[in-house]
C-alpha cells in the first residue's frame, strides 16, 4: 500500500490499484516539466513576483521559527495547451502524450521516489477519449477541502474565457463546488465531474497552472471577489463586526473547550458565528463586514478573501499543526495578522485552546 496524505480519514492509506476492478491502464513512466518540454504551448499571463509580509503581524514565540523568515516568490501564472494529454482523478493529475506527469501542473503533498505518487500506482482506470478542448480545474485536495478549492483551483479560471474550452473537469461533490462553478459561469452541459476514477485524454488539454498550496496571488483573490460582486481590495475598508469562528462540522482539530473560549472573548465584543450551510456569497457578505476574526486554523479563514485590508486576524494553532497559509494571504491582501500557539497532545485529534494567552493576545491587537 502507498501512503497518500491527500485521502481523508485516520489511516491516510491509498490501497494498491490492482484491488480496483477494471483498472488496467499502465501508470505514467516518469515526470517532466510542461514549462520546459512545451515552451511553444505555454502562454504566460502574469510574471513571478514576491509576496509581501502582512503590514503588521505578531507571532507568539513558539511560532516564530515555524513561519517564513522572508517573503516567498509567487510563481508565474501561465496556461498550457497540451495536445493529446490526459487528466486523472479528482486531484487533476496531468499526464502528457509522452506518458509523463507534468510536475508544474500537478501539485502534491509529500515527496515520492519517482517524483509523483501516481508513478507508483500499479494501474489506472481505462481512458475516456474526448475529441475537444478540456479545461482542468482540480488541484490537490480540492475535491474535499474548501480552502484548497478556493485558493488553488478557482483562481485558475481568472485568465480563461468561455471560448477557450469545450468542457471543464471539476469536482462537484460539495455544495461549494457547485456554487462556485455557477458563479464562474461554467454551464452544466460543459462540466465533467472529477472523480477518483476520472481518466480522460483530450485532443487538447487546457491547463492553467494551479496556485501553489498556501501561496495565493492577489489577482486570484480579486477574481474571486468579482465572482460575488465584491469591490477591489483597494476600494474597501474594515467593517465593525468582531467574530469567533470555530471548526464547525470538521472531523479534526476541533476546540474541546470552545464554550469557555467563546465566554472569555465575549467581553471583548467578539460574537460566535457559524458558517455551516452558508453559500459562498453569504460567507462573503459576513467577512466583508469584519473588523476582527479569531479562529483556529482551518478552511473558514479562506473567506478572508472577502475582507478588507486592515482587517485583524487572530489565528490559533495546536503545536502539531502549524501552517502559514493565512499568514501569506494576510500579506497578499494587507490584513493585520496575529498567530496564537497552544501546546497539545499529538496523539489526539482535537485540543483545548489556552484561553488566558488567547485573551491577552486578542486584547493587544
d(CA 259, CA 236): 33
Per-residue pLDDT at 7: 38
Partnered with residue 81 across adjacent β-strands are: 206
The C-alpha angle 285, 309, 58, rounded to 5 degrees, equals: 115
Interatomic CA distance for residues 49 and 66, integer angstroms: 23
Torsion of CA 110, 114, 115, 116, to 10 degrees: -70
pLDDT value at position 16?
A: 45
Flag residues of the chain having pLDDT under 70: 1-19
Per-residue model confidence (pLDDT) at position 356: 97
Q: Is the Cβ–Cβ distance between 326 and 293 less than 8 Å?
A: no
- Give the residue among 180, 161, 166, 85 at the shortest CA–CA distance from 133: 166
Closest CA to 326 of 54, 62, 56, 49: 54
Residues 216 and 301: beta-carbon distance below 8 Å: no
Q: What's residue 1's pLDDT?
A: 33
Compute how many other C-beta atoms are within 10 angstroms of the C-beta atom of residue 127: 13
Contact 198, 118 (CB under 8 A): no
Cα distances (Å, whole numbers) of residue 81 to 96, 100, 287: 11, 15, 36
Q: Is the pTM of this model over 0.85?
A: yes
Q: What is the pLDDT of residue 345?
A: 85
pLDDT tens profile 171-204: 999 999 999 999 999 999 999 999 999 999 999 9
What are 94-130's pLDDT values in tens digits? 999 999 999 999 988 777 777 888 998 989 999 999 9
What is the reported pLDDT for 19? 57
* Residue 218 contacts residue 226 (beta carbons within 8 Å): no
Grid-cell match 483530450, residue found = 202
What pLDDT is attached to residue 95? 98
Amino acid at each position: 500500500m502507498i501512503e497518500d496524505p491527500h485521502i481523508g480519514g485516520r489511516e491516510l492509506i491509498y490501497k494498491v490499484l490492482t484491488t480496483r476492478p477494471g483498472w488496467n491502464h499502465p501508470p505514467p513512466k516518469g515526470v517532466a516539466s510542461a514549462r520546459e518540454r512545451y515552451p511553444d504551448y505555454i502562454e504566460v499571463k502574469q510574471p513571478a513576483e514576491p509576496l509581501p509580509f502582512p503590514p503588521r503581524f505578531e507571532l507568539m514565540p513558539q511560532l516564530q521559527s515555524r513561519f517564513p523568515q522572508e517573503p516567498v516568490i509567487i510563481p508565474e501564472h501561465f496556461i498550457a495547451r497540451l495536445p493529446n494529454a490526459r487528466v486523472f482523478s479528482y486531484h487533476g493529475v496531468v499526464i502528457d502524450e509522452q506518458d509523463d506527469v507534468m510536475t508544474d501542473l500537478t501539485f502534491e503533498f509529500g515527496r515520492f521516489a519517482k517524483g509523483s505518487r501516481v508513478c507508483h500506482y500499479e494501474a489506472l482506470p481505462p481512458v475516456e477519449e474526448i475529441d475537444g478542448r478540456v479545461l482542468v480545474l482540480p488541484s490537490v485536495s480540492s475535491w474535499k477541502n474548501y480552502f484548497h478549492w478556493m485558493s488553488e483551483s478557482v483562481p485558475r479560471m481568472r485568465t480563461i474565457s468561455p471560448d477557450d474550452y469545450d468542457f471543464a473537469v471539476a469536482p462537484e461533490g460539495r455544495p461549494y463546488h457547485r456554487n462556485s462553478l455557477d458563479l464562474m459561469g461554467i454551464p452544466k452541459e460543459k462540466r465533467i465531474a472529477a472523480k477518483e476514477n476520472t481518466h480522460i485524454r483530450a485532443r487538447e488539454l487546457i491547463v492553467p497552472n494551479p496556485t501553489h498550496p498556501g501561496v495565493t496571488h492577489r489577482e486570484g483573490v480579486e477574481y474571486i471577489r468579482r465572482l460575488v460582486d465584491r469591490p477591489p481590495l483597494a476600494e474597501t475598508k474594515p467593517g465593525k463586526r468582531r467574530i469567533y469562528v470555530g471548526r464547525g462540522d470538521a472531523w479534526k482539530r476541533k476546540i474541546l473547550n470552545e464554550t469557555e473560549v467563546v465566554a472569555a472573548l465575549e467581553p471583548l465584543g467578539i460574537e460566535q458565528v457559524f458558517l455551516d450551510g452558508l453559500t459562498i456569497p453569504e460567507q462573503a457578505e459576513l467577512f466583508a463586514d469584519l473588523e476582527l476574526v479569531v479562529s483556529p486554523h482551518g478552511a473558514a479563514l479562506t473567506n478572508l478573501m472577502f475582507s478588507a485590508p486592515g482587517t485583524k486576524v487572530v489565528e490559533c494553532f495546536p503545536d502539531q499543526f502549524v501552517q502559514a497559509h493565512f499568514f501569506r494571504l494576510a500579506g497578499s491582501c494587507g490584513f493585520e495578522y496575529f498567530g496564537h500557539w497552544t501546546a497539545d497532545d499529538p496523539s489526539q485529534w482535537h485540543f483545548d485552546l489556552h484561553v488566558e494567552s488567547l485573551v491577552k493576545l486578542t486584547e493587544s491587537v
